[in-house]
Every structure is written in structure tokens, then in C-alpha cells.
Amino acid sequence: MDTINQRSFVVQNTIYAFVLSLFFPLLGISIDLINSNDMQFTLEGIRTVYSQNPLHWIILLAIIVLPLVSYYFSNKYIRDIASKQSHLDLLSGKMNKINHFTQKLIEDDFTQAFDIEGNEDSLGKSLINLRDTLKKNKEAQEKRRQEDEQRNWIAEGLARFGDILRTNNDNMEQLSFMVVKELVKYINAIQGSFYMLNNDDPNNVFFDQTALFAYDRKKFTDKKIKWGDGLVGTCALERQPIYMTKIPESYVNITSGLGKSNPKCLLLLPLIYENELYGVIEFASYNALSQHELNFAERVAESIAATIASVRINVRTAKLLEDSRERTQAMSAQEEEMRQNMEELQATQEELARQADKFVKLENTVNHTMIRADYAVDGTLLYANTKFLKKLEYNKNEEVEGKHISLFIGEKDKEWFTQLWDDLASGGRHYEGYMKHITKNGKDLWTMATYTCIRGENDAVEKILFLAIDTTEHKKQSLRLESIVDAVDKSSIKLEMGSNGSLMEYNDNMLYLFGYNEKDAKNLTIFDLIDPLEIENFNNKWDTVVKGIAFHGQFKMKSKSEDTLWLRGAFSALYDMYGDVTRIVFIGHDATNEKLMDIELRQQTDILKKQEKMLRESERELSKKLREARIEMQNQYKEIEKIKLRNERTLEGALDAIFTIGNDNKIIFFNKAAEELWGYSKEEVTGHDVAILFSAAIIEEDDFLMKMVEPGSNKIVGVRKEIKIFSKSGEEKSVLVLLSNAQVEKENTYTAFIQNVEVELF
């Protein structure tokens, strides 16, 4: 109810009380005058009544008391209604604000602000904490998603380029083009170039541009860049990637059907494998490359360099094989000469036969226990015993005699064996060591072999004796163990210690991880590497290890710079031939990142659990407050209904006609005085348009009535207006009308107070 309506309501009730207070003095005077036969209803008679009965003076005070009482209670009623309405509006606004804020959180809108009403507003603080927690969780989830997408992108790219490198490793030009083409597409570049290092002439080292790809098309070029020239030469000299986002306008232009433009970024990567440079690849892009794209390009560059190195090794191997074939042909040409030499030696066979008798027994013994063969100086097999044939999987001597020794040597060993044989043939020292032969069926035969020169007259080498013992199984096991040890040494951290814990052997991985050099490590013990807080527990485990009981687990250690390291591995004992423990070996790997991630995950889990608990408590508190607010609103609505009922009953008993209409202009209240004034019953008018009470002709003539019967909020309120009405029976009456307005939650109701001006007060 606005201020004007409040004042109107108070004034109206005060006037009604004043009018009502006049009734009591008039009633008392009328009764005395009626009971008195000698007094008339005149001023003199009234004066006489007041002089004879002082009680009338007390009754006369009602004219002052009743309006004052009405004024007081009307004001009090208006204040109570305004206070409750204000509280309801405040509570409704707060609930709407909470509903709006929570709806924004459900829609993942974390930018919505929420004003906290004082330090005691725990619900507001909880909602702010909830918003911040949900925002952080959303950001963390988005970050993990992006990291997973980047890892998947890199893994797919590496697999893709691995296939390209495997399928194109026999043609360097095709390989370079496919690499540049696919890499340009994969990192969304617009141009790529492949520069292959040509160092065949040490005095003229340059780079050949073997591939150029731009705008999804292969470009043909024969560009050459001298060593050290331009960005390509700089990248090769520094052996480091070059990434530029500010490119000189004259450096490179990208030409398409739309014209020429300068790229926004440039990437050059050196192709290095095992510290040897093979070339440079260059890419230009309109968009800056992200860090994971740069990392991916560098890893692909390493794979390209490894492939080029492998291809060049294969080329060199093929060249060596061709050289070997040429030498074999030359040696075959010498066979005839060797046969002639054999004929000359035939003349001396009788003398040699006598000498050979002395070695028959020894020879028989050797033939039964060892692999034996005699070779001419040129490598032709002269004799092979049974064990030689059996081990090399031949059936008859005819299959091997007269064959060159290269028949029994693998392709990979021919280069160094040729040098060895040349040294033996020239009278060099005998050879003793492991030797691998190739059997008839292509199998490997490992032997502990001896090649010894048999000399004749003038100390000249006549033939070369081969004696050996089969060590194939032992060698296979040895190679397998060496491969395993090498793989462990490259991929893991290895330590060998004495029983007192002093470090005896260690690999580079250990030195790198702990930050020590060779000099520092020689004076260390395993106890120097263990975290001081874990040393007591470790000593107990060490006592069991030196007794031969292996131990596997996770160990907390300290680096040289006092950084905490976590290693996962096993301590095991090594034994000598008598079963005594000689050393303790540790094989493990760095688990620091895994441990830190585990610790961080546990901390985050604890934080999430606490936040979840706080959220549940906040939800319970919010539910409790909502229930309390709902109950309070229900109580207030009940109180309002009581007040409304009380007001209706008060208005029902008023002497003046009163009716109330809603927003739709339908009559919702019609008191008894109004029934008497118009002659209509409540049932006849309630729910009908207010225009039913007024004549259409009068409505058109009177602006006050016209606005009152029209739906809307433009009615004239707070103004007393005299109008004419017609009762149900057609009787014309003049009345005074005062229209007041009341607004509850944007719903307007209008109450009309009608006073019949023809009513005589006396």
C-alpha cells in the first residue's frame, strides 16, 4: 500500500469514527427529550438536558476519543502490514537471487557474482565456495583433457611417421619428400623443405634441397646451400632447433593463387643421430606452433636422422660387399697359381711324409677331440676332419675341400676376417679367440678357435692350421646375457656394492640421476644415497640382503643437491664359485614422478573429500534455511489471511458501501451497505465486471468512472468524487466515491468507499 493510500485509509477510518461518535450524544439527548414531556428538540431543550444530566458531557467526549483511537489503530495496522510486506519482499528477493545463482552454477556459468550480506551470511559464503570449487574442478578437468589430446596427437603422429620411415628407407629422395609432405600436413604448416648434408668432398660441404612441399603440392628445386650460410647453415652449426616468430620480409614468400604472403613463424630442425649431422628440415606456417607441436617435430627429426643413418650404413655395407666379391674373384684367379705351387710341393711330400709319421698319433688325437681344418695361404680348404664336417653340417669332404674359407664366414665378419687372414698369410702372429662360422644350412657355429701358421723352408708360410672347440651354446648364452645387461644398463639404474655398502660399479644413469661425477662416486656408499630419515629401516633390510635374501621395493633417496628421489627396484646378492656373497647388485628405475603424482593425487583426493563434506553440510544448511523460510512464509501468509479476513469483516460492518475489484476489474468484495445501496446481493455481482454497477451513459460522461471500469492501472485513486448511480430498481442516487489502491507482489486491488450524500446526519 503506497503512502497516499495509507493516508487515505487512516483519514477515512478517522472520519468514520468521528461520524460514528456523533451517534452516541445524539442518541442520549434523544432518549432524554423523549422521556421528558416538557422539553422540545431545540437548542434550549438540549442545553437543559446537559445541565440536568452531566453524564451527557462524558458521552460527548466520544467525539474526540473515538477518532483518536481509530487514528492510532489505523496507523498501527498500516505499519504492521508494511513491515510484514517489506520482510516478505526481502525474503522473496533473497530466494530469487539464490535460485538464479544456483541455476547459473548448474549451467557451468562461474562468472555470476553473489553479494554476501554481512559476516554472518554462512549460506552466501558456502555458495561462493561452491562456485569457486566447481570452477577450479572445471578448469582442472579441461587442462587434463587438453593434455590427453596432446599426448594422443603425439603418439598417433609418431606411429604414422614410423610407418613412413619404414616403408621409404630405400630411396632418400622419396623418403625426404614423404616426410616433408606429411609433417607439413600434420602440424598445419604451409611449406616445408628438406636439406640433405652432402659431405662427400670435405673441401666442399653443402646442403642439397632434396624436397620442397607447399600448398599441398610438390615443388621441384635444385637449391644448394653452402655450409654455414643462412638459417639452415646456422641451425647445422649450432646443432639446435631454430624457432622464429618474427621473420624478415625478404626471407621467404609463400605464393598461391591469391598472391604472395609472408609466414608468421619459421621452424628449422637439425637431423642428428649419435652426434652426427645428416641434414636440416625447415617449415613455415601462418600460425604460431604450440609447445607440444614443437616437441613432436623434434622427436620426428630424431627418427628421421636415425633412418638416414641406417640407410647410409646399408649403402656402405653394400659397397663393402661388392668390394669383397671383387677380391674373391681375384683370389679365384690365383687358385691356378696355387695349384702349380702344390705340384712343386708334391716333390717334397715323401720327406714330409716321414715327418708326418711323427705327428700321426697327435693328429688322430686332435681329430677325435677338436674341429680341424688345413687351409692354403690363399684360403683354400685343403683338409677337414670329421668333426669339422659334422659341426658345419656337411656330409662329404668333396663338399668342402678346394672351397675358399670365405664360404664358412658370415657376410658381416668378412671384412675384419679378411684383414686377419691377410696378416696370417703374411706370416703374422697366430690368432686365438672366439670365431663365428656359417654352417651349410646357414646356422651360426661359435668356436674357441686357433689359427696357426705352418712354416716351411726359409720360414715361409706353407699353410694355416685351424683348430677349434664348439662353444655355440655357451656363446649364445653369453650374448644373451650381454644383451640383457646392456639393455638393463641403458634403461635402468645399476649399482654394484661390496658387503660394506661401498660403491664398486655404477652406470651413467645413476650418475646423471644423483648428480655425481666419477670422482665423487668412488668415495660413496649406498648409505650416503639413502634418505637420512629412512636409514634405520634400510639398515635392517641391508642385513638381510648381505645374507643372500633379495629385497624388492621402493626406496627414498637423496641426490647430491639434496633433492628427494624415489627409486623402485631390487637388491640381490652375487655369489662366487663357493656360494659366498661377493657383491650386492641393485637394479631399479626412477619412480620420483610417479611417487610425487601419487602424493599429489592423495592430497587432491583429501581436498575433494573435504570440499564434498563442506558441500553436503552447506546443502543441509541451505535445505534447513529453505524449510525455515518456507514455514515462516506460510505463517506470514496465514497471518495475512487472518488480517485480510479481519479487514473484510470490519469493512462488512461499515455504514458506507464498500466494494473491491482486482486487476481484471472483477468484483471480489461487496459489503452489506453496498447491497442496500444498489439493491444487488453479493452473489449477483461477485465475479462480474464492475461496470455492472454503473449506467453506460454516466460512464461515458464521467472520466473518473470511465477509468475505474477500464482494466489497467490508470485509475484515479485518493480523490473523493461525487457521481450518480442507479439502483437495481432504477432509483437514482448521488454518492461520494473514494477509490484506494493496494499492491501485493505486482497484483493491484482497488477498493471503493461510497457514501450516500442524501443520508441525513440529524
pLDDT tens profile 153-188? 777 777 777 777 777 666 777 777 888 888 888 877
pLDDT given at position 605: 78
pLDDT tens profile 425-475? 888 788 888 888 888 888 888 888 888 888 877 778 888 888 888 887 777
User: What top-level class would CATH report for the domain 492-590?
Assistant: alpha beta
User: What top-level class would CATH report for the domain 168-317?
Assistant: alpha beta
Torsion of CA 615, 618, 624, 628, to 10 degrees: -140
pLDDT given at position 257: 39
pLDDT given at position 357: 63
Region 617-632 average pLDDT: 78
pLDDT given at position 122: 67
| 73-102 exposure pattern, b = at least 16 Cβ within 10 A, e = fewer | ebbebbeebeeebeebeeeeebeeebeebb
Which of the four pLDDT bands, split at 50, 70 and 90, describes residue 221?
A: low
pLDDT given at position 114: 64
**Looking up cell 630424431, which residue turns up?**
302
Cβ-contact 372, 356 below 8 angstroms? no
Choose the weakest-confidence range: 34-38, 226-230, 632-636.
34-38
Pairing of strands 747-756, 657-661: antiparallel
Q: Enumerate the β-bridge partners of residue 565.
A: 557
More confident residue, 458 or 745: 458
Please report which helix (H) or strand (E) contains residue 175, including its range: helix 172-186
Which of the four pLDDT bands, split at 50, 70 and 90, describes residue 348?
A: low
pLDDT tens profile 371-416? 888 889 888 988 888 888 888 889 888 888 888 888 888 888 888 8
Question: How far lies 387's CA from each of 373, 444, 594, in Å?
Answer: 10, 16, 57
Q: Enumerate the β-bridge partners of residue 277.
A: 272
What are phi and psi for residue 672, nearest 5 degrees? -65, -40
> Is residue 420 over pLDDT 80?
yes
Is residue 423 classed exposed, middle or buried when 0-12, 13-18 and 19+ CB atoms within 10 A define those classes?
A: middle
pLDDT tens profile 247-300? 766 565 544 433 455 777 888 889 888 888 888 888 888 888 888 788 888 888
Measured distance CA(583)–CA(563) in Å, rounded: 28
HSE of 191, CA atoms in CB hemisphere, 13 A? 18
Given this chain, do its domains 492-590 and 653-762 carry the same CATH topology?
yes
Q: Which CATH superfamily is domain 653-762 in?
A: PAS domain (3.30.450.20)
Region 191-217 average pLDDT: 81
Q: Concatenate the DSSP letters of all residues of 322-387 into one string.
A: HHHHHHHHHHHHHHHHHHHHHHHHHTTHHHHHHHHHTTHHHHHHHHHHSEEEEEETTSBEEEE-HH
Measured distance CA(685)–CA(666) in Å, rounded: 9
DSSP 578: T
**Residue type for 259, please?**
G
Cβ-contact 466, 372 below 8 angstroms? yes
Going from N- to C-terminal start, the domains of the chain cover 168-317, 348-468, 492-590, 653-762
Measured distance CA(656)–CA(735) in Å, rounded: 10
pLDDT given at position 115: 64
pLDDT given at position 762: 33
pLDDT given at position 760: 42
> For a pLDDT cut of 90, what percent of the chain falls above it?
0
> Is residue 525 over pLDDT 60?
yes
HSE of 696, CA atoms in CB hemisphere, 13 A? 0
Region 734-751 average pLDDT: 81
**Looking up cell 464521467, which residue turns up?**
702
Strands (E), 630-699: 657-661, 667-670
Measured distance CA(646)–CA(233) in Å, rounded: 100
pLDDT tens profile 322-337? 877 877 777 777 766 7
pLDDT given at position 112: 66
**Residue type for 29, please?**
I
Coil/strand/helix, residue 293: helix
More confident residue, 305 or 488: 305
pLDDT given at position 258: 37
Region 86-114 average pLDDT: 70
pLDDT given at position 212: 85
Q: Considering the domain 348-468 in this protein, what is its CATH number?
A: 3.30.450.20
Q: Concatenate the DSSP letters of all residues of 684-727 into one string.
A: HHTTSBGGGGS-HHHHHH-HHHHHHHSSSS----S-EEEEEEE-
Choose the weakest-confidence range: 38-42, 644-648, 720-724.
38-42
Strands (E), 484-626: 493-497, 503-506, 551-558, 564-575, 581-590
On average, the pLDDT of the chain sits at 78
Region 354-360 average pLDDT: 61
Give the strands of the sheet with 657-661, arranged side by side: 667-670, 657-661, 747-756, 732-744, 720-726
